[in-house]
Amino acid sequence: MLQPDPIRIAIIGLGSRGRFLGEAIQGDSRYRLTALIDTDPDNLRGGRDYLHSSAALYTSLPQALREGDFEAVAVATPDFTHEAVAVACFDAGRHVLCEKPLEITAKGCENILAAWRASGRILLIGFVLRYVRKLRKMHDLIASGEIGRPVMAYANHEVPEGSRWYFHDWHALRRCSTGLLLQKGSHDIDILNWFMNATPVRVAASGGLNVMGGSESDNLTCGRCARSGNCPDCTTHIDHFPDLSKPIACVHRRSVDVEDNHLVIIEYDNGTRASYSECHFSSYPRRSFCVIGDQGRIETADDNKIHLTRRFPADRAVYDCLPAEGGHDGGDRLMLDDFFRAVTENAPTLADGSAGRISVLTAIAAHRSMREHRMVEIEEIEAEIEHVDNLQSAAV
């Protein structure tokens, strides 16, 4: 049987995530990295040097789409640019692997999905946790009925390096990210949706900005203040900070306005519910998931084990799930497997546009709930999309 030719792929956005994806792509013989695209020349050159790549370099996406030799793209640009980038790529006939979240607005998601459907190309959302072996196994055990009918679930994510990835740059600004339940928590919300095999209908949430943020000047560069020697969030105390070649903003600057801790309750269309907690200043990293059904309970946390207990007859089982090689416990590589099959065989993806859309709507509803102190219906967010569409139609 003839093997398909390698997929010619471009990376758009050469920040830390783009570079990590580039490493995974270069390590997979089924792909050929043919173009690197970034509007920042320094980022572009830095990405090229980091990857030791001979791919063509572009600072203009329109030019790359006209002239570049690639059939697929990996979008790793800042979240607030995803709509413009993904729509342009679909309009140009490219397949798209888009980093999560799909977009930071509900309308942006709808516009991406419309371009995807019109293009006939592949869209895969970078929900890399779906590809982690232990979470895939946990999903399969739930789906096979090992705990009976799922009734409730909870997840917890404690991020000791929240300041490393989220509060020194654009992530900490609502206008750029909406909030970290969307930027970071969309991973975990998606896993809960996947495990429960249901659609969120309403959300209640509480959260606050209690440790990050403050009164420092927006012009203050990290490491250049009197308290940097004792500040746990100073970049000088964080190993392998993404990019120390450029000035790093202080996490306690005045403009920081996203919450650094959240508690969320999600109700689903089948009467089940889930809760999610997220903290960005923990002293210890932890990510756990638990689902309780009418016949049993299943849980995984920081190790590579899944713990399953049944109500009757009383029984207990432990599953060992060694991670695959590569980033995100091998999830990056297995995600590329899925994208390859989708492009070459027109196979369905494990994380498509609809999964990306509902995780965004859920996170937007959660942020609105915590900021307006009320429960928010998903229908409310969807109605606003229709309202925008109606206004645009009337204007035409």
Distances in Å between the Cα of 171 and the Cα atoms of 164, 165, 254, 257 are 11, 8, 14, 10
> Is 393 part of any domain?
no
Residue 219 lies in a domain: yes
Residues 155 and 282 in one domain: yes
How many C-beta atoms surround the C-beta of residue 40 within 10 A?
14
Question: 57-88, pLDDT tens digit by residue?
Answer: 999 999 999 999 999 999 999 999 999 999 99
Q: Same domain for 72 and 143?
A: no
Establish if 2 belongs to a structural domain: no
202 falls within a domain: yes
Separation between Cα atoms, residue 85 and residue 318, nearest integer Å: 44
CB atoms inside a 10 Å sphere around CB 256: 23
CB 244 within 8 A of CB 265: no
Is there a single domain that holds both residue 160 and residue 206? yes
pLDDT value of residue 326: 75
C-alpha span between 175 and 218 (Å, rounded): 15
Q: Do 239 and 341 share a domain, yes or no? A: no
Q: In terms of domains, do 248 and 110 share one? A: no
What are residue 114's phi and psi, to 5 degrees?
A: -65, -40
Same domain, 159 and 125: no
Are 320 and 341 members of one domain? no
Domain count, the chain: 2
Question: Using CA atoms, how far apart are residues 195 and 151, in angstroms rounded to an integer?
Answer: 11
For residue 394, being part of any structural domain is answered with: no
Same-domain status, 291 and 145 = yes
The DSSP-derived string for 149-198 is: SEEEEEEEEE-TTHHHHTSSSGGG-HHHHS-HHHHTTHHHHHHHHHHHTS
Domain of residue 79, CATH code: 3.40.50.720
Q: Is residue 236 part of a domain?
A: yes
DSSP string, 265-281: EEEETTS-EEEEEEESS
| 124 and 188 inside one domain | no
**CA–CA distance, 2 with 121 (Å, rounded to integer):** 23
By residue count, the chain amounts to 396
**pTM (2 decimals)?**
0.93
C-beta atoms surrounding 236 within 10 Å = 12
Residue 289 placed within a domain: yes
- Per residue in 318-343, pLDDT (tens digit) is 999 987 777 788 889 999 999 999 99
Q: Which residues of the chain have pLDDT under 50?
A: 391, 396
- Check whether residue 168 and residue 265 sit in a common domain: yes
Which of 101, 166, 103 shows the shortest CA–CA distance to 127? 101
| CATH code, 236 | 3.30.360.10
Q: Are 205 and 179 in contact (CB under 8 A)?
A: no
> Do 172 and 223 fall within a single domain?
yes
Residues 82 and 202 in one domain: no
Q: Is residue 396 part of a domain?
A: no
Which residue in 113, 166, 157 sits closest to 135, CA to CA?
Answer: 157
d(CA 222, CA 17): 22
Name the residue among 199, 206, 130, 194 with its Cα closest to residue 369.
206
Range of the domain at 146: 133-328+360-381
